[in-house]
Amino acid sequence: MRGRKQRRLRFVEFVKEGGKGKRRGKSALDEGLGILATAGDWDLRVDLDRKLTFPEEITTTNQRPDIVIWSAKTRQVVILELTVPWEDRLEEAFERKAEKYSELKQSCIEKGWKTWYYPIEVGCRGFVGQSAWRGLGAVGIKGRKRKVVTKNLAEAAEAASRWLWMKSKEHTWK
């Protein structure tokens, strides 16, 4: 099979004489464009300096995820929570964050919002967890852009960890 492109399997829907076939339109998610391609009125909030309040039009909570992206018109919300754990604790951090925000996700769903939640882990030495790759792909960041974003995430996590390590050796820190 070298040199040949593999084709996707396509199914043919047969229609009886005089009948009409169903036209199947593809949504943006089916096309692989990501969640952000499904609406045009996205709003974004980012938790900087612990001042983010979760949008009250979605639900009321005292939890503050790092990034909230929502579309009021299509009633969709994407919640991203960033974590920088030790390298050998990526899975534990993923499970802990998934558990922490499960009630918030359920509350959004109960209020009629289509909800996606992605805990994203980047290890303290720059190792980017699979969750980051999946989360970025789900919102529509793919290909070269996703590689650039993951590289930037890794460098930022490593620089912040290095800064914390250096500060921990100062006397004013203790």
| Chunked mean pLDDT (size 10), the chain, 174 residues | 60 73 55 80 83 86 88 92 75 82 91 91 80 88 91 86 79 64
Is residue 21 a part of any domain in this protein?
no
Contacts of 62 (CB under 8 A, 6+ apart): none
Q: What residues make up the domain containing 68?
A: 35-168
Q: Is 126 left (phi over 0), alpha (psi -120 to 50) or beta?
A: left
Residue 20 forms part of a structural domain? no
For residues 117 and 122, what is the distance between their CA atoms, to the nearest angstrom?
A: 16
Q: What pLDDT score does 96 carry?
A: 84
pLDDT, residue 4, reads: 61
Which pLDDT belongs to residue 121? Answer: 83
In a domain, 81, yes or no: yes
Query: Structurally, how many domains does the chain consist of?
Result: 1
pLDDT of 6 reads 62
The pLDDT of residue 30? 47
